[in-house]
Chain A
Amino acid sequence: MQNEWLYIGLFLIVGVALPAASLIMAAIITPKKSNPIKNSTYECGMETVGDSWVQFKAQYYIFGLVFLIFDVETVFLFPWAVTLNKLPLFAVIEGIVFILILLAGFTYIWRKDALEWA
């Protein structure tokens, strides 16, 4: 094995190809008797009113923003965690201060009621 990521790439190709092959096989052998009523959206239920691709609740967007902050933070923490066993106490406390600063931001978000599902 020369390259780890080559292996991952091969794995991804096989992992996509096998399910895709089964879907193609299924597409060949399944009956095809389509008609407009069968193909309509939500066939056996109520008729859809209006466009399905609608605007959605803004709250999802706020949670997305909060997520982004913490996601970036944790990526920075991984190198710190890997070398933690060799770091002096000072560097460990620096990492903790970094977390605390972000938790202060988190408290701000919390107090601003951005975490409420209103």
Chain B
Amino acid sequence: MNYIAIKMLMGDKGKYIGIIMGLTFASLIMTQQPATFVGLMSRSYSFISDLGLPDIWVMDAKVQFVDDIKPLQDTELYRVRGISGVEWAMPLYKGLIKARLTDGTFQTCNVIGLDDATLIGGPPTMLEGKLEDLRRSDSVIVDIDGATEKLGKPSPIAGEKTIPLKVGDNLELNDRRAIVVGIAKSTRTFQSQPVVYTTYSRAKNYAPKERKLLSFILLKAKPGQDLHELTLRIKQNTGLAAYTQDEFKELTYQYFMHNTGIPINFGISIALGFIVGAAIAGQTFYNFTLDNIRQFGVLKAMGTSNLTLLRMILLQAILVGSIGYGLGVGLTALFGYATRHTILAFKFPWQLLVFSGAGVSIICIFAALISIFKVFRLEPAIVFKG
């Protein structure tokens, strides 16, 4: 019987491919769109996840997300350091500073100032040079994306690609000299500005004159210390806000969820993908059943039970569903692979496989259901009509 079902399905090549295309399309949209969305949202807190060493981030109580800098007084660092349960606490400067390139254009950069002695908070991977090179005078480390794109020198030949910034090149940050001593790889941020790493005291020199310049205090808890308890203690004793790495990610993520149109836009396109996919696949599957209604009628007339027919239709649905799903997620992965070095956001966690799998299953069940009702209500006599 199963063989007959499969033969029935694959017999009409046009319909067969039609159903699978519909499901592939639905599965592709339901995977690729959320992947782009997740990728984009993870960029909002990529700066936090890139900084794996500290356990807790301390900042002004009114900070809403990672790019919302409300600087502190320098002495707050020592107050935080003086709280029991703190292994170490280090300053971090984060701010937007205008860089003047050799050709005279301006580019806003995300300047990160690391503690002078320990250089805690550095980029995750160094491609060229060492992090210690920041000890040299006027030195900065630039991220590879910024170096090749926005901070690159325009090519002498018009229309050619820009010449990437290299180790030894110099920049001008707020009228001050900066020498590139290293190239780093860091995860792209939401605004995709070039990231420039330097020491804390040098960053203060680059920064525009402000009374307070300390953006964040990075903190490591003593071994065995409960992080949540420590954040409460910091809040209570200093009046500053303290978040664990995950809490701060969540705060940033929630800010983007509530204050930008991104989730709604992506939600709409995912829903549209689902509806269109369901409509195409459902309708084609139903049409296919209608076309084969004679065969079902014959089977019914031959005395095949409804249960067997149900099993046949379900088998057909599962088969096209699986093929469509496999092709869809495969195409998504291919898309991700093709765009891995571009500016496009793409992140493919395992939850998305489950999500689109569930979506495709719902479409298949819906398509199978309407076909099953048709077959169940079928009079075997139809074969002999017409």
Partners in one complex: no
| Chain A positions near chain B (C-beta within 8 angstroms) | none
| Chain B positions near chain A (C-beta within 8 angstroms) | none
